[in-house]
């Protein structure tokens, strides 16, 4: 599998993203092209515009497909991870919250596939950080082997924290997402008690799940993400374990063994 040559799809059908999504139907059982496109737009897939066309030109110029393939093969071997298809598309830069929430890149992962949404990448290490984060998701989802509707808010919080801690370990602290240090530890502990601690069992199908994970309204921005990183960071300080092991540690263990977030 590896990198699917979506650059050729984009060359032929850039102005018609739903036509491109027709090619994705085999990867999304039971969904049509419009449903797939609407789903992917939530995570950063482009809408046709001059800016997204420029992003595509930058991706081609910077050999993003080739560089992503090289990075994927490296981490697939390093982590003994699953061989999945990876789809690259320009990023919709009109704003919004994405899974890694950065202005020039975004991504979304499934147990059997990954999508990266990109613009100009001046530092290849930024591309690596995004791939590490999203591929960690793929590896953990694959190992846990649960139905998506079974995942709880605690599962989601820990999944995000672990993925970004893998970025720290593999790329360095300068490549961490902004939300890792969005709140002080003191503030985060207060917010944890106020908003998250009593809601950890909420399922992905519950509306409050995404509100607490992403923030919005009275809930602070990206609170679940920030809490997840802090919990994993605490756990790492007390336990020495490999990235491969982090794919299968139950989310409940991170809370059970935490001195701060228990």
Is the pLDDT assigned to residue 201 strictly greater than 50? yes
pLDDT at 254 (0 to 100): 94
pLDDT tens across 224-252, in order? 999 999 999 999 888 877 888 899 999 99
Domains of the chain, by residue range, sit at 2-144, 148-256
**Averaged pLDDT, 34-52:** 95
| pLDDT classification of 213: cutoffs 50, 70, 90 | very high
pLDDT over threshold 90, residue 149: no
Query: What distance in Å separates the CA atoms of residue 178 and residue 233, rounded to the nearest whole number?
Result: 15
pLDDT tens-digit series, residues 59-100: 999 999 999 999 999 999 999 999 999 999 999 975 444 444
Query: For 200-210, what is the mean pLDDT?
Result: 93
- pLDDT, mean over the chain: 92
Give residue 96's pLDDT.
Answer: 42
Sign of the Cα pseudo-torsion (143, 144, 149, 151, in order):
negative
Indicate the pLDDT class of residue 103, thresholds 50, 70 and 90: low
| pLDDT band with cut points at 50, 70 and 90 for residue 217 | confident
Among 11-20, 77-86, 94-103, 148-157, name the one with the lowest average pLDDT.
94-103
Angstrom distance (rounded) from CA 262 to CA 256: 6
Between 108 and 216, where is the model more confident?
Answer: 108
Q: What is the pLDDT of residue 257?
A: 84
First to last CA, the chain: 41
């Amino acid at each position: 599998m590896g990198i699917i040559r979506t650059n050729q799809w984009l060359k032929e059908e850039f102005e018609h993203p739903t036509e491109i999504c027709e090619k994705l139907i085999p990867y999304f059982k039971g969904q049509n092209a419009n449903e797939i496109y609407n789903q992917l737009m939530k995570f950063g897939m482009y809408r046709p515009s001059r800016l997204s066309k420029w992003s595509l030109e930058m991706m081609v110029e910077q050999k993003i497909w080739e560089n992503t393939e090289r990075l994927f093969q490296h981490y697939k071997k390093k982590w003994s991870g699953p061989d999945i298809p990876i789809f690259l598309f320009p990023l919709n830069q009109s704003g919004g919250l994405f899974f890694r929430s950065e202005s020039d890149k975004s991504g979304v992962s499934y147990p059997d596939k990954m999508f990266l949404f990109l613009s100009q990448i001046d530092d290849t290490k930024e591309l690596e950080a995004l791939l590490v984060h999203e591929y960690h998701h793929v590896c953990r989802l694959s190992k846990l082997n649960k139905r998506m509707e079974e995942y709880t808010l605690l599962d989601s919080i820990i999944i995000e924290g672990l993925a970004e801690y893998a970025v720290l370990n593999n790329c360095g602290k300068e490549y961490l997402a902004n939300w890792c240090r969005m709140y002080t530890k003191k503030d985060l502990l207060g917010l944890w008690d106020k908003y998250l601690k009593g809601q950890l069992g909420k399922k992905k199908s519950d509306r409050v799940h995404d509100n607490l994970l992403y923030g919005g309204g009275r809930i602070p921005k990206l609170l679940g993400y920030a809490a997840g990183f802090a919990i994993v960071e605490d756990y790492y300080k007390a336990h020495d374990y490999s990235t491969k092991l982090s794919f299968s540690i139950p989310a409940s263990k991170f809370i059970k063994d935490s001195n701060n977030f228990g």
